Amino acid sequence: MAHGLVRRESVETEMHKSEAKRKTFVYTKKRGYDVTRNPHLNKGMAFSLEERLQLGTHGLLPPCFISQDVQLLRVLKNYEMKKDDLDRYVFLMGLQDRNEKLFYRVLTSDIERFMPIIYTPTVGLACQQYGLIFTRPRGLFITIHDRGHISTLLQNWPEKDIRAVCVTDGERILGLGDLGCYGMGIPVGKLALYTACGGMPPQQCLPVMLDVGTDNEALLKDPLYIGLRHKRVRGQAYDDLLDEFMKAVSDRYGMDCLIQFEDFANVNAFRLLSKYRNKYCTFNDDIQGTAAVAVAGLLAALRITKSKMCDHTILFQGAGEAAMGIAELITMAMEKEGLPKEECLKKIWMVDSKGLIVKGRDHLTHEKERFAHEHPHIKKLEDVIRELKPTAIIGVAAVPGAFTEQIIRDMASFNEHPIIFALSNPTSKAECTAEQCYTFTEGRGIFASGSPFDPVTMPDGRTFFPGQGNNAYIFPGVGLGVTACTMRHISEEIFLTAAEALADLVTEKDLMEGRLYPPLSSIGDVSRKLAVRIMEYAYKHKMATLRPEPSDKEAYVHSLTYSTNYDEFVVDSYRWPEDSMIVQSCKL
């Protein structure tokens, strides 16, 4: 065998290094179809003749040897033949099921092109059609009826070295509402980006669906629905399931296993984050990831407006998870500039479905009360904007077209550079389009959106490239940084650090073009830089548990990064001295 075992890659492979040949190769016990039908191992026609002979796959593949580059070309040509985005999504997920390395090679070859397919906005449509396009299960499905046995279910998952879990209960999928078990497309898509953008090995990522039922009547009547066919279970039984799940994951994979909550309804998201954030290594991407990417956009916008965060009055259309998370992080950024917390809160206003949130209004949640101010109640968003004259409006309520032409023109009338963030996903739920913002503000608006918009060319010839405030700028880098230094808890300061690091990567050229974020094409580099900044912060504030502390954190992060290059399966063969290999014999 090999001179030195480097590391166990997964339950199926071990990576060894041959010192004599200065060569790394992979060892697996699997043979024949078990190799070619395993997405972690399969290389298709990129297997060499020697590999085919040793792995027992010779004759199971066409007699042709091609490089990964040729395979990439074939995938791209097939991709171009698909008639719509849902077909493209199904095609890419099929590739992920067949050949994992090639799947991630495709994504990283043009992440700007493929991210809208495997993530928002197409993943929303895919979740709505999940029962129709379902072919092969991905991730772990845990139901309310599995209480008391979650640790057993986790043992059924083949990988033992899990660093990141993404979990949903499917109750608030993007801006689409309760999709029940169909919501599994979200954790699957998120973790694909952990690898494509953050470089985390896919075998270390586990998508989980907690199925407690659905209140979506259409799904309950749908013969293709793949989940439990009853109303959502709530109350103590639900809480017991979550408690058992968190403990079971941490018991099996360690207290430093990252657990990302995704697309839980407001009624559960805040309280679960509050309940678990100091017990486990966990965060809620809808609250904290969205907050970090939005605040990064605002920090970049400050370089255009030549102002400080505390100079701004910010109005939210929406008062749910995203709004509260962003508002909390804005408050921290203002405090860091020296403004007292009470004064920070006064600069943030919110409008929900009932109008402006003000003191004395009935049925305000604890979270909303923090941002309720003394002011007469105003119902309509247009009237609120005329009254308060905010410098920035942020849409996070999934109300399509909420930012009307009148609202955008009003914002431009009392701001030289109005900040207009239409962050709701998918694209169909956006508060306004990039073209509307730039047109109605005559190119003075500072725009960001949750889903991608095409570049906009103005009548005077200027072209703006709308900034996409995509959480993918944040969560892969946070996940990589947190797991790299094995943090046990994730404080709010980590997300402010990530937001500042992301804003610092925006160049003056980017700002001139209307970008508030670095180009998506550089997101891999962005994620690694965020991870390094998070590690530096963690060690400085004694939050990291990895010892010894890596002296070169950039090199250390790079060493953890997943490679899309194919592994070599050639066995390390060598000979002993001839006299040691003499066959002993005797006369009978």
What residues are annotated to the active site?
Answer: 119, 190
The tokens for 383 are 């009237």
From the centroid of its chain, how far is CA 321?
Answer: 16
The tokens for 147 are 């209480």
One-character DSSP codes across 156-188: HSS-S---EEEEE-SSS-TTS---GGGGGHHHH
Q: Where are the beta strands (DSSP E) in 513-556?
A: none
Name the phi and psi angles at 392, rounded to 5: -140, 135
Ranges of H-type helices in 404-488:
405-413, 434-440, 475-484
Supply the DSSP symbol for 233. Answer: P
Name the phi and psi angles at 16, rounded to 5: -125, 155
Q: Which residues, at least 6 apart from 157, have a Cβ–Cβ distance to it below 8 Å?
A: 140, 206
Reading phi first (left if > 0) and then psi (alpha if -120 to 50, else beta), residue 176 is in alpha
Cα dihedral across residues 274, 276, 277, 278: positive or negative: positive
Q: In the Cβ-directed half-sphere of 565, how many Cα atoms lie within 13 Å?
A: 7
Q: In the Cβ-directed half-sphere of 257, how many Cα atoms lie within 13 Å?
A: 24
**What single-letter amino acid sits at 351?**
V
**CA-CA distance, 333 to 330, in Å (whole number)?**
5
> Which among 418, 443, 424 is positioned nearest to 514, based on CA atoms?
443
167 within 8 A of 419, measured Cβ to Cβ: no
> Which among 425, 461, 466, 465 is positioned nearest to 448, based on CA atoms?
466
Reading phi first (left if > 0) and then psi (alpha if -120 to 50, else beta), residue 441 is in alpha
Reading phi first (left if > 0) and then psi (alpha if -120 to 50, else beta), residue 355 is in left
7 within 8 A of 22, measured Cβ to Cβ: no
**CA-CA distance, 294 to 474, in Å (whole number)?**
10
530 within 8 A of 501, measured Cβ to Cβ: yes
The tokens for 340 are 């007292």
